[in-house]
Amino acid sequence: KERQAKAVPYLRKLVQEKDAFIQEQLKKGVIYPNQESEEFRKVIWAEAQKTLRKDLTDDQKEEFRRRIIWPYSKAFWIEGCAAPKVTGFLADIRPLAGAKPYKAQPWGMSEYDQLRTEYHIRENVAQGKMERIDPRREKVPEWASTIFCVDHARKGLLGRPVNDYRMVNSRT
């Protein structure tokens, strides 16, 4: 709790910077509408090369580009891509016999966790990965799960967002 309380000012600054970055990206719009385009493949190849092991030969790097990057470019996502969407598939998730819909109530969170969670929600909404529902204007779904953040070393102060689907999963 003390560590979180001390980190709140730094987290606020980080969230402001990240929010500004998101707004900048939104102004640019979708830069890569086709993740199978030559242009997109070149960009992700340039990014991938930064993380490849240094001991790989040029032939090994080329094989990776040819066998992974080019044929599976749709599997890679970077800033500027359209939000991931599944098309041509209709999910048929049925509740178990006698199961009643479940709406999880938000958990009480520290200021630190509230800042992180709200940031991740804004980011996902801005990227088109989530939709925010205004309960004053829209019907609230019968099923809902809680979102929160967990610490994650590579994600720094922002952590990683997690949805708690345990109650929904236990009823379907």
Is there a contact between 144 and 166 (Cβ–Cβ < 8 Å)? no
Length of the chain, in residues: 172
Please give the model's pTM, rounded to 2 decimal places. Answer: 0.71
Question: What 3-state class would DSSP assign to 11?
Answer: helix
- Residue 86 corresponds to which tokens in the numbers above? 């599944």
Give pLDDT tens digits for 63-115: 999 999 999 999 998 888 887 777 888 888 889 999 998 888 778 899 999 99
Rg (CA), the chain: 20
Residues 115, 152: Cα–Cα separation, whole Å: 16
Is there a contact between 22 and 80 (Cβ–Cβ < 8 Å)? no
Give pLDDT tens digits for 11-65: 999 999 999 988 888 888 788 889 999 999 999 999 999 999 999 999 999 999 9
Beta bridge partners of 163: 147
